[in-house]
Amino acid sequence: MADDAFTPDWLALRERVDHRSRPTALLRPLRAAWHAREWSRVLDLGSGTGSNLRYLASRLPGRQEWTLVDHDPDLLDRVHGPDPVPSDPGSSDAAGSALPVHRVVGDLAEEGLARVGEAHLVTASALLDLVTREWLTALVERCQEAKCGALLALSYDGTIVWSPPEDPDDAWVQEMVNAHQRREKGLGPALGPTAPHLAEALFQEQDFHTWLVPSPWHLGPGDLALARALVEGWIHAVAEQAPSGASRVQGWGERRLQALARGDVGLTVGHLDLLALPADPGAG
């Protein structure tokens, strides 16, 4: 996405697709650990307007207390609580009660990492591909010290697939977008699409049990606004990454936007969700 990737409009646009794309298979081991270890405290990093809170709180059992950390106070001011999931037998009654939510304005490299020791579960959504190896290593080490779990959702995995007909510039755009993902994103050179697999390996080195599950966006005619925003963001990113190709990517974007408007194509954007739980069932 472009520099405005974290505007409230963008976050609102993607939330519905984010929530439907998340794999429910991770909820069973997470709920089991949450219940067995009597967890209650969640630390959500890079919270934005609270999408992760709204997805997860009503899907966890029992008492909860959330701390949301983001550098943008305007986004945190827009946080509102979870939506109930009444048809889900594993859901919590937290959505219908007063759920303690603490908003913390702070830098993820300092305030975020400093609070890991207070948490039972660390969560983040659409964050890992934006961080550095050093930050991710520090996060895993803090989780190991605290014996807390981690649920790191919707990390971009580098996959962009258009349904037929293909465009001759699709592969080039994907390559440039993925290179742009590795540029400075606020914490230093970002990991980009390598992040979820690296995170899994780092947690496994600390004897965590891990689950890495696909959570792709499948965008169809009902997701036109999000698909258009993605294409426009990719045009901007490619023009930054390869200035000499600015006219080329603009032409590609015009073709893809026209095809989307006609309903001629579908779009899949790959993501991965990672759950990491401490090996000792009595920890925490």
Residues 6+ apart with CB under 8 A from 85: 58, 59, 91, 95
DSSP-assigned states of every residue in 126-145: S-GGGS-HHHHHHHHHHHHH
**DSSP code of 110?**
I
> CB burial class (10 A; 0-12, 13-18, 19+) of residue 39?
buried
Domains in the chain with CATH codes: 8-157+189-216+271-278 (3.40.50.150)
With a cut of 70, list the residues of the chain below it in pLDDT. 1-5, 83-98, 281-284
Q: Which two tokens stand for residue 33?
A: 């650990």
Answer for the pair 129, 195: CB distance below 8 angstroms, yes or no.
Answer: yes
Give the strand pairing for 217-219 and 267-278: antiparallel
Residues 6+ apart with CB under 8 A from 201: none
Provide the pLDDT for residue 6. Answer: 79
Give the torsion sign (CA, 33, 57, 64, 121).
positive
Can you tell me the distance from the alpha carbon of 77 to that of 148, in angstroms, rounded to the nearest whole number? 27
Provide the pLDDT for residue 89. Answer: 44
Over residues 204-253, the pLDDT tens digits come to: 999 999 999 999 999 999 999 999 999 999 999 999 999 999 999 999 99
User: Whole-prediction pTM value?
Assistant: 0.92
